[in-house]
Structure 1
């Protein structure tokens, strides 16, 4: 069986390295799923997602002289787009901004929040250095 780019294949994980997983796709062929192609989420440790012996479904994304590149995340059903919806976790909750607020309002809120954080950071840093007590003589 010759695989071509775009073909969906099922195989067994035969080996795991820090950079990816080797998958036996049958007929003596194997492919590599790079760590970046395992999940839509960030994968710090490949062992958290895959183990030797796992059966996976992947899409062939490249075939360079018998070196088959696979992608598990492209074989999964499409995830809802998170573009423009970055979530930042802060110490204090912030109210959600509505689309009716203008850019200037959003910028003003951001600048105020940034100034508050900077002043808190300065206070904490100065306290650890002994403050502004002047020189000792």
Structure 2
């Protein structure tokens, strides 16, 4: 079989070879496998990937990422349901200033958790004894 040089954006047909709670493994050829993450198997919330994919099923997929270090291929069915904007794909964004989601001057760390942990454990044991 000839070697295929896989690239982001390629649309292929593969065969589902395995399913885990987090996604489905898809054989693209005899030597190459990719993963459809559960979030990429269908638009909207997916509680069970087996509602959409089964082992042995042939599936049309698009390559949405190839890890440059490991060579792992990320696949999507969802992007074929709705067009994918490849102009934004695989672009590295470099920020000049670090963004903080919280106050960068706060030095709390894990202290509040440590202060409350004993109380949480005691309450959990009470709840367990009460059958909650």
Q: Which bracket does the TM-score occupy, shorter chain normalised?
A: 0.5 to 0.7
Unaligned runs of 5+ in 1: 79-137
Match of 2:74 in 1: 69
Matches within 5 A, 1:1-137: 1-64=4-67, 65-78=70-83
Q: Specify which structure has the higher proportion of helix.
A: 1
Could you list the per-position Cα deviations for residues 27-64 of structure 1 after superposition, in whole angstroms to 9, with x for gaps in the alignment?
A: 41000000000001211011111110011111101111
Over the residues paired in the alignment, what is the CA RMSD in angstroms?
Answer: 1.2
After the TM superposition, which parts of structure 1 deviate over 3 Å for at least 4 consecutive aligned residues? Answer: none
> 2: distance between equivalents of 1:9 and 1:76?
14
Higher Rg: 1
TM-score computed with the length of structure 1 as normaliser: 0.54
Q: What does residue 91 of structure 1 align with?
A: none
SS in 1 for 2:5: coil
Distance in 2 (alpha carbons) for counterparts of 1:75 and 1:51: 18
Structure 2: stretches of 5+ with no match in the other structure: 84-132
